[in-house]
Amino acid sequence: MSEGENKVQVFEPHKSKLPPLRPYLRDFWQRREFATELSKFSDKAEYLESRLGNVWLVLNPLFLAIIYFLLVTIIQGGRGGLGGFTTLCHILIGLFTFYFAQNCITLGAQSITSGGKLILNQAFPRSLLPLSSAISAFRQFWPTIPVYISIVVIGKLTISDTTIPGLTWNYLLVPFLFIILAITSFGLALLFATLNVYFRDTTKLLSYIMRIWLYASPVLWQPDMLSGAYRVILYINPLGPILSANSSIWIDGATPTLSQIIGCLVWALIAFIFGGYFFISRERDFAVRI
């Protein structure tokens, strides 16, 4: 190259490989407050022009639960009484729980492409963006918890029937299941966020995937409807064991089965490890492709 000639700098995609994990995780932990503050800012921006604000977080799944309940009871021949109450509680709890996972995955899938300016101007672990989306999903989920707690508790106290179990120690397992659900959802969010960088139609396709996923999950139907070899449907679904175990606790007051617990843990490990590897090994390529 002759003197005075301008140099041309070419940016090429990085090869997919993991960075040194110890410094990466240390930096991730030290910057965790960034994810929390970004989540707060995103939530304020989303509901800035809404008068009801966070009330819609409860009303939306509540209205959907009532609609689905009416459809299910019509299909079942208008069954009422205890069976109708159990069906309503199962759908309500399933929808609230599924919506947390759905929000975590869908918001996380958009987090990298929507955070392009941050990625181009700041150096930080990119996984903080899906983490911020997961925090936002939790902030949208927690107002719904008192709603279905109230419905289940009031139903157990007011409906006089010996088949309705009382409050048991098994309810203490609910936070454990929620942590497993959060890990699973965060791992899947990392996976879809990476795919969305390479294939921008991922988020559009994801809306249809989540709708089919809802129908294939034990939300609108009871897990005990499946028997024999068909019960494998519960375990090939990443959210199947968690939704089944959650329903068992809230509706029946029963301890989740060993197979449900194993299914929850296996899917959490698969989603977190595979999603984390897929994301972190390619995140240095994000700035080039956004």
Q: Give the pLDDT band (50/70/90) at residue 178.
A: very high
pLDDT at 261 over 90: yes
- Alpha helices by DSSP H, listed for 115-173, are 116-121, 128-141, 145-158
Whether 75 contacts 68, CB under 8 Å: no
Check pLDDT > 90 for residue 106. Answer: yes
Q: Which residue has the higher pLDDT, 58 or 144?
A: 144
- Cα 35 to its chain centre, rounded Å, is 17
Q: Give the Cα separation of 64 and 96 in Å (integer).
A: 10
Q: Is residue 268 part of a domain?
A: yes
More confident residue, 51 or 59: 59
pLDDT at 35 over 80: yes
Residue 53: pLDDT band with limits 50, 70, 90: low
> Which amino acid is located at 7 in the chain?
K
Helix axes 128-141, 174-198, angle to 10 degrees: 130
- Token match 């009484």: residue? 81
In this prediction, residue 48 carries a pLDDT of: 45
9 pLDDT higher than 80: no
Cα–Cα separations (whole angstroms), residue 94 to 83, 106, 132, 236: 16, 18, 24, 18
50 has pLDDT over 70:
no
User: Does residue 19 lie within any of the structural domains?
Assistant: no
The predicted pLDDT at position 284 comes to 83
| Average pLDDT estimate for 9-19 | 61
- Is the per-residue pLDDT at 85 higher than 70? no
Query: Of 191, 192, 183, 193, which Cα lies nearest the Cα of 242?
Result: 183
Residue reference for tokens 């070899």: 229
Q: Quick check: is 40 in a domain?
A: no
Whose CA is closest to 284, among 133, 124, 108, 107?
A: 124
pLDDT band at 226 (very low <50, low <70, confident <90, very high): confident
Residue 122, domain member (yes or no) = yes
Confidence check: pLDDT of 290 > 80: no
In this structure, the chain runs to a length of 290
Specify if 4 maps to a domain.
Answer: no
User: With 50 as the cut, is the pLDDT of residue 163 above it?
Assistant: no
Between 106 and 89, the higher pLDDT residue: 106
CA 115 to chain centre: 20
Question: What is the total count of domains within the chain?
Answer: 1
- Is 48 domain-assigned? no
Averaged over 16-34, what is the pLDDT? 85
In a domain, 24, yes or no: no
What pTM does this model have?
Answer: 0.82
What residues contact residue 290 under an 8 Å CB cut-off, 6+ apart?
Answer: 112, 113, 116, 119, 120, 197
- Residue 153, in any domain of the structure: yes
From CA 223, how far away is CA 186, in angstroms rounded?
Answer: 24
Q: Which domain holds residue 160?
A: 53-289
- For residue 15, the 8-state DSSP code is P
Euclidean distance between CA atoms 181 and 117, whole angstroms:
30
